[in-house]
Structure 1
Amino acid sequence: MFAALARLSLVTRILIAIVLGFIVAYLFPDAAAYVSILGDIFIKALKSVAPILVFVLVMSSIANFRVGQSNRQLKPILMLYAAGMLLAAFSSVFASLIFPSTLVFTSASEVALQPPGSVSEVLKNLLLSFITNPITALSEANFIGILAWAVGLGAALRHGSDTTKQVVTDVAEAINSIIRIVISLAPIGIFGLVVATFAQAGLETLENYAHLIAVLVATMFFVALVINPLLVALVMRRNPYPLVLKCLKESGITAFFTRSSAANIPVNLDLAKRLGVDEATAGVAIPLGATINMAGAAVTITVLTLATVNTLNIHVDFVTMMILSVVAVVTACGASGVAGGSLLLIPVACGLFGIPSEIAMQVVAIGMVISVLQDSTETALNSSTDVLFTAAVDLAKK
């Protein structure tokens, strides 16, 4: 049986693990307390190896980059990131207008988390992340700081000897070997995550927010299956769906259960390599995308903010909604690549309409209740889009 499973593709094994996870969660819900450790170990392994992987790969890529290559490749990828997020926010506005949602607030918020105070604070934190101590950046998985130091050291090493460059390349290959081992264990980890998610949270807690979840998830599916393919088709000039579906299947499924764009970086780098994407381009664009390319976060921020506005009967004209979309995109770039990273940015968007922080934080609490589907779908969209846009630009060039 194990030999037969080993011959199956990784995606097939993951799908089998998901089905088994549903069965175990339904028949033996008490087993979640024991099985969940498999998922915890898998996420911990991904998060542990991701920072050093990104640091070494980006440094190696920059050190061995051909002159002018990075600008030609990265510029269109960044443009796709920006266009994808903006169109995702616009789609959220139209979805909220066609299917308006309402929320149920209590008299007081029980959420003790502290959101940023304004868009300027989000941008300030983002800029300060660039100059973080490299050891601190690695220990805290601050990918903006990691990228800054990796690019700086990589640029300096371009003037080093060929022997030095070869050592950096060999270290990158060694870390890649570790990554392949971690990824091969994905079915076991995802099995544990599925059991824990559906045995502990269940679907009953989601019934009161079924309409809101439907709007959020449907909008994200629209972005993944309509908006993104249109952008990819403009770049590649051919049918985008084979690439779109492959990225959703091999990156989106894993990201759905890890609920962390940062943890999914190794998965995306492995997929990009198998797609034939230039390793130097992928080594920079994918970690950068995990930090700033947050179309799913833009959807979450926009939909939940407009649901709050609708609940409080605040009149908002169409122009203001478009401004909200831009704010959602800017703040989404500051969302951390961890589970629930976008929720704490909702109060920033609510501040546009003078909504008090007490109510805004209750919206964050509601987001946490529905995060079993909302955050999972959001991360799947965010992470799969990183590798999708990177692959589209690179393969189109070739």
Structure 2
Amino acid sequence: MSLLLYNLFLFIYQIALQLAAFFNPKARLWVSGRKNWAESLKSAMGDKKTPLVWMHCASLGEFEQGRPLLEFIRSHYPNYRILVSFFSPSGYEIRKNYAGADIVCYLPLDGAKTAKKFIDLVQPDLVLWVRYEFWYHYLSQLRARNIPVLLISGLFRGTEPFFRWYGKLHRYMIRCFTMAFVQNSDSADQLAKIGYTTVIVSGDTRYDRVSAIAAQFEPLPAIEKFVTGHLVLVAGSTWPEDEEELDHFANTHPDIRFIIAPHEIGEAHLKEIENLFKSNIRYSKWVNTEPANHDLANPPNVLIIDNIGMLSRLYHYATIAYIGGGFGEDGLHNILEAAVYGVPVVHGPVYGKFPEAIALIEEGGSFAVDNALMLEEECTGLFKKGETYQKAAAAAAAFVQKRKGATATITRYIQANRLLTI
């Protein structure tokens, strides 16, 4: 893609979002969140001249991926301020009050003048770019100013523009990184084919993140009351396609407890879920209902989570975890949050772009199903807690444990090259 086409894409993209903002809530947040961005950022920066680390994340998943590094920097380099930028409203709206950062903001849409102005205001000493979402003008500005930029948990496939005849612009962008920390050797091999060898195979920082979450687990009393004495299926980050695959199983097995944590918790979607599952209750109602008022004769067997932030702890209570996204084009969600607890994982058939999902299946910790019938058969077998279940549970726990350490690899590099100073 030429620079001219890239700039044309940015122009069309912005116009499209402004039009979509009239009827799409996410687009509305995207547009409104960037209004007067320069004034807001200047005010947030203040007059302080202290050094600063900037971490950019596309959305919430990338934030969690980069979070172990932020926590390390906060504890070891307290004299540095931290700025976190998001492209997506789903990341910014959930983490805009994140206490581990001094400033949390939207990243303005890329552009030559915009990127220059943003970096003039921020003046970062180190930039952490998490996983993907490459913006030409931002990266060009950082490179021109000799500001170190680290790619965190990068993942590359040969089908991407970097490795195509039309990918000159992308190949330039990858060379803007001081060092690329990639998840696997396949990514390093792909980059080597285009002559980029400033690469370290570090693994994925998500393994460190989910391990830290599990180690800091805090009980959820309301969940314990719901699941005690029952087999439990926790379905996390579900989309309508996932919920439709699950409803028959839940409706015909009242003795099993199902916890549905949808990816989208808008009222319209919550009502759709309530219509699918016969015996249900929302978490907000369950947690605010006195135990004496619970219907013990006909208790609900489906708990619908209508908030954000609990999912990583919910998997602690699962007998089996179902991970959403594998029955549609949205992409499989984080399987590691469940596997870290030693919970067998089940998901849909679309997972080929997720190396951790492929590897966990190969090691026996998870199972892919093609339809509702396969889903019920797989889960029914696992719920017997026989040899297959025990092996899958052990494989899931070991899978995460042996892949930890990406954060340590990156922090050693930062320290050895004095990218940050005490």
Hey, which of these two has a bigger chunk of strand by percent?
2
TM-score normalised to structure 2 length = 0.23
Bigger Cα Rg: 2
Hey, which of these two has a bigger chunk of helix by percent?
1
